[in-house]
């Protein structure tokens, strides 16, 4: 795999940072390529060199974060729910600007759907409906319930500007997952 030039990475990061900042100031539909260009301090041509348009930029930014979260699921397969959730909440904390734009401001409903789909996909392998407390429950219903609750709690955390520290969020979400899955 070819090594990516650091200047290209720096430019892409500046563009991604610019779109997140601009989304905190105005509706995504009102953001122009010129706005992005001015904020990132790059030419319009540079933006088009890396992205088809602002929608492609947002889609790639969302995909990048979803892939990181998916990778965390794979590396956390041996961890309990609290430890695994702590990995996610630490990532949420480090990328607070992005996630708060995507979840708290309802800036990108598409992200919420992708986040929910990821959780459904990951929780499907964790749910047992053949014995114990979940016996006789419909697996799809249980998975959707737990995933929707998880997304809802994370949205609440961002909407209310982190009313509890991320490690408390992880501990309590992990405990709830453990009880229900």
65 closest CA partner among 38, 43, 96, 30: 96
167 closest CA partner among 82, 62, 40: 82
Summarised one tens digit per residue, pLDDT across range 83-94 is: 989 999 999 999
pTM of the model: 0.86
Estimate the crossing angle of helix 33-40 against helix 54-75, to 10 degrees: 60
Summarised one tens digit per residue, pLDDT across range 4-46 is: 788 989 999 999 999 999 988 888 889 999 999 999 999 999 9
What domains can be seen in the chain, in order of their start residue?
A: 1-51 (1.10.10.60), 59-180 (no CATH)
Summarised one tens digit per residue, pLDDT across range 98-149 is: 998 898 765 567 889 999 999 999 888 877 666 677 777 888 998 999 999 9
């Amino acid at each position: 795999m070819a090594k990516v030039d650091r200047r290209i990475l720096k430019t892409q990061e500046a563009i991604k940072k610019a779109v997140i900042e601009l989304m905190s100031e105005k509706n995504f539909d009102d953001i122009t390529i010129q706005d992005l260009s001015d904020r990132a301090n790059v030419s319009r041509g540079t933006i088009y060199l890396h992205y088809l348009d602002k929608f492609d930029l947002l889609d790639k930014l969302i995909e990048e974060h979803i892939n990181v979260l998916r990778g965390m699921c794979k590396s956390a397969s041996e961890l309990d729910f609290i430890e695994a959730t702590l990995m996610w909440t630490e990532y949420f904390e480090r990328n607070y600007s992005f996630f708060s734009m995507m979840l708290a401001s309802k800036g990108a409903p598409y992200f919420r759907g992708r986040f929910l789909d990821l959780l459904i996909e990951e929780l499907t392998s964790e749910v047992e409906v053949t014995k114990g407390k979940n016996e006789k429950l419909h697996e799809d219903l249980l998975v959707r319930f737990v995933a929707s609750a998880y997304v809802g709690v994370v949205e609440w955390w961002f909407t209310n500007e982190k009313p509890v520290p991320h490690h408390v969020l992880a501990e309590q979400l992990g405990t709830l997952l453990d009880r229900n899955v």
